[in-house]
Chain A
Amino acid sequence: MVLRLIMAYMASLSFAYIFNLNRKTALMSAIGGSIGWYFYSQGLLYFQDSNVAYFLGAVFLSYYGEIMARQTKTPVTSYITPALIPLVPGSGLYNTMLQSLEGNYNGALREGITTLMASGSLAIGILVVFTLIKIYYLIKRRISHETN
C-alpha cells in the first residue's frame, strides 16, 4: 500500500513537472495524486465497484486541489490535473483496444463503456466538489456581508 502511494506520488510528480509547474507547486500538487489513489483503492475495497471508487478518488483529490489552490492563489487546474492522471483509466483503454483487435466486439463494447463510465465518475467527482465549494464560499460571503 505504502509503495503504491509513493508510486502514485511519483507518477503525479513527473506529470506536474512535464506540465511545467514550478518546483514547490509540483511537489504539493503530487500529494493530490496519492490522496486520489488512496481513496480510490479504499473505495474499491469497501464498495467492490470501480465507478464508486473513481468517484471517491476524484472527490478527495479535487477537494485537496480546491483548498490548496485557494491557499496558494494558484489556478485549481495546476493541482487537479497532475493528481488526476494516476486515476485516468489507461488500462480500460488498452483492454478495449485489445478486445476489438481479437474480434471480440462484445468484450470491446463492455470494456469501452466501462472506460467511459470511469471517466464520467471522475468528472462527476470533480463537479460535485467544485459546486459544493462554490456554494460554501457564496454562503460564507453572504453571511459576512450581512453581519457587517
Chain B
Amino acid sequence: MDNRRLIKLATLAGQIILESGGEIYRVEDTITMILKSYDVKDAESFVTPTGIMVSLTDNKGDVISLIHRVSKSTVDLEKVALVNSLSRRIMDTALPLDELEKELNEISAKEPYSIPFQLLMAAMCGFSFTVLFGGSFVDALIALVIGICVRLLQLGTREIKLNGIFINIMGGALVAVLVTLMTSLVPLETDTDVIIIGSIMLLVPGIAFTNAIRDTLMGDYLSGVSKGMEAFLIAVGIAIGAGSALAVMGGI
C-alpha cells in the first residue's frame, strides 16, 4: 500500500468538496473516512475555508502529513454529492488506488451546465423572484433581462479571479444602473424597488449562509464565523454597490 499516494488522493477528494462549496466538516469527514478505509493506524484532518491539513500514521508508526492551500471557490453541489457518495462507497469496500484516482479525476473534470442554460436559469430567477415579491408582468420582464446581465458579469469575473466582495459591489451597481435606465426607457408603469430586489436575489450569498449555519451546528465555530462573515460582507457589498449607483443615477 502506497500511503503517500493515498494521502494525496484523500486530499484531492477533500479539495474538490472544499472548492465546490461543501461544508468544512464534510471535507474533514470525507478525508478521514477515505484514509481510515485503508490499512492505516490513524488519520486526522484539519480543514479551514482556505486550507487542508492531513496527517496519517501508518502501521509502522511513521507519520506522513500534507498541507494544501485552497484558493479557488465555486459552487458546484453536484461534485460535493458525487465525492460524498464515493467516500461512502469506499467505506464499505476499499477501492484500489488507481480506480480511486480515476474516479476522482472524472468528478473533478465534470463540466457545469452550458452557459446558455445558465443564462436561461438566471433569467428565470430574476423573473420568478420579481413576481414572487409582488411585481407586475412588465417588472418581471425587466428583471429577466437584468438577471441575464448579472449572470454574465458573474461568469466574466470568475475567469479573471476578482475579489468576491468587489464582484458583488459591481453586481449591485449593475442591477441599480440597469433598473434605473430600463424603467426610464419603458413607457409603462413600473416599480423600481421590486425589480431591484428581484434582481439582486441572484447575488445573495445563499451557499455561504447555509454553510455558516451548518458548520456552526457541527461545532466548527472557526469556519462558521468565517463563512458567516463572508455572507455578511457579500450582503454589504451588494448594498454598497446598489446604493452608490442609485445615488449617482439620482433614482431615489
Residues of A within 8 A of B (CB): 3-4, 7-8, 10-11, 13-15, 17-22, 25, 37, 73-78, 80-82, 84-86, 88, 90-91, 93-94, 96-98, 100-102, 119, 122-123, 126-127, 130-131
Contact = CB atoms under 8 A, between A and B. Distances in A.
B129 A11 contact: yes
Contact of B243 (A3, A11, A101): A101
Interface residues of B, number: 53
B217 A127 contact: yes
B12 interface: no
Given A81-B207, A127-B213, A90 B197 contact: yes
B121 A14 contact: yes
Contact of B81 (A74, A80, A127): A74
Given A13-B124, A73-B88, 15 more contacts: A8-B128, A11-B132, A15-B121, A17-B118, A19-B75, A21-B78, A21-B81, A22-B78, A74-B84, A74-B85, A77-B23, A84-B209, A94-B242, A97-B242, A127-B213
A101 to B, nearest CB: 5
Given A90-B197, A127-B217, A11 B125 contact: yes
Nearest to B74: A20
Interface stretch (B3-11, B40-48, B64-72, B198-206): B198-206
Interface string B216-252: 0100000000000000000100111011001100001
B162 interface: no
B58 interface: no
Q: Is the interface of B mostly helix, strand, loop or mixed?
A: helix
B153 interface: no
A94 to B, nearest CB: 5
Most buried by B among A4, A17, A73: A17
